[in-house]
Amino acid sequence: MKNATITALNHAMATRQPVAFAKNLSDGTEFLLPDPHAPEALNEAGRLALAADKSTTHVLGSESWFIEARNPAPRLVLVGAVHIAQALAPLASMSGFEVILIDPRQGFGNQERFPGANLVNDWPDEALNQLKPDMRTAVVTLTHDPKLDDPALDRALHSNAFYIGALGSRKTHAARLERLSALGHQAESLQRIRGPVGLDIGSVTTPEIALSIIAEIVAVRRGGSLGLRVK
Amino acid sequence: MIDVEDVLSIAASWHGAGEQVAIATVTETWGSSPRPAGSRMAVTTSGKMAGSVSGGCIEGAVAETAQQVMASGVPKLLSFGVTNERAWEVGLACGGKVQVFVEPLI
């Protein structure tokens, strides 16, 4: 592997560019796909690997190529720089998520409470309009405050986010669904919101609740059986 | 692959510090194997290691091959498998197989 390839891979990761790394397993030739200098069959294999988000060996003609899909990291958008976020943010980033923390209240969302975090001090609806959650984005509201949570959930329901969760008891959640339905969201759409958020692992402490949330997000993302909720 | 360690960046920093580095990459897996394709391990001639390509069962053999690859400059494709009999013998039910590509960082 060339040192310059590592630099290029890191640059792609930092700029959220999807790339496929291709390695000829006989002579060691390598490409970062798409590359106009690479054979078209290789570029096509790179596109397919990225679409499937899967790395594996392909036989093209008489040669074996390892093709590694390097899609941008999945994102977790947390609304509310609260206590649970302090446990959830590091857990999520260790699990490979790029974490974005939204809280317009600077007393909560500041670097002292979240050193090094990607903090956005805008209102959640404005912040989510900017971030445009896609199929690789999870959104979790944590504030318990309808002024902050509701606009975030409203925006999330209008997006392709693969996971939407809202912290709060069953009672809180029922009231929340009524408010969102008054905003015009249909029952089917509201079922996308996981509330109470997280897997039922009997969490008591803050880190345990954070663990249940990240576990459910992983289960949904990877198609694990625990990701399915039976109503 | 996003991992606990950013193995490629670690390898590049060792290389930048003047070390000779080899990179091992899981290129294919069959059956149940502990690490998916794209998992990496970096090794230096001085014996530094980062990352992993299995649950710990083949790292020793891969590190040894990495030393040969750094000496020769020629990449190698390794296959590791657990035969069913052997799996039974050591109490592993998985019978997984992995292929690992070992190459110098240049």
CA distance A126 to chain B (A): 29
HSE-up of residue A170 (Cα within 13 Å, Cβ side): 2
- Residue ranges and CATH numbers for the domains of chain A are 3-70 (no CATH), 75-227 (3.40.50.720)
Give first-to-last CA distance, chain B, whole Å: 22
- Let me know how long chain B is: 106
Q: What is the mean pLDDT of chain A?
A: 95
Q: How many domains does chain B have?
A: 1
pLDDT value at residue B98? 87
Three-class DSSP category at A40: helix
- With respect to residue B2, please indicate whether it lies within any of the assigned structural domains: no
Give dist(CA B54, CA A153) in Å, integer: 40
pLDDT at A86 over 80: yes
Which of B1, B28, B101 is facing A56, going by the closest CB pair? B28
With CB atoms and an 8 Å threshold, state whether A25 touches B77: yes
Question: Quick one: DSSP state of residue A31?
Answer: E
Q: Amino acid identity of A169?
A: S
B17: contact with A, CB 8 A cutoff: no
Question: Quick one: DSSP state of residue A229?
Answer: P
pLDDT at A112 over 50: yes
Confidence check on the interface: ipTM exceeds 0.85, yes or no: no
pLDDT at A132 over 70: yes
Q: Using DSSP bridges, classify how beta strands B76-81 and A193-194 pair: parallel, antiparallel or unpaired.
A: unpaired
Give dist(CA A150, CA A123) in Å, integer: 11
With CB atoms and an 8 Å threshold, state whether A94 touches B4: yes
Least confident of A69-73, A221-225, B17-21, B78-82: B78-82
Task: Calculate ∠ Cα A76-A67-A17, nearest 5°.
Answer: 40
* pLDDT (mean) for A144-172: 96
CA distance B31 to chain A (A): 14
B5: contact with A, CB 8 A cutoff: no
Q: Which domain holds residue B35?
A: 7-104
- With respect to residue B1, please indicate whether it lies within any of the assigned structural domains: no
Give dist(CA A46, CA A68) in Å, integer: 8
* pLDDT (mean) for B22-45: 91
**With bands split at pLDDT 50, 70 and 90, how would you rate the model's confidence at A231?**
low
Can you read off the two tokens belonging to residue B66?
């990495």
pLDDT at A216 over 70: yes
Contact of A32 with A12, CB cutoff 8 Å: yes
* pLDDT (mean) for B34-42: 91
**With bands split at pLDDT 50, 70 and 90, how would you rate the model's confidence at B89?**
very low
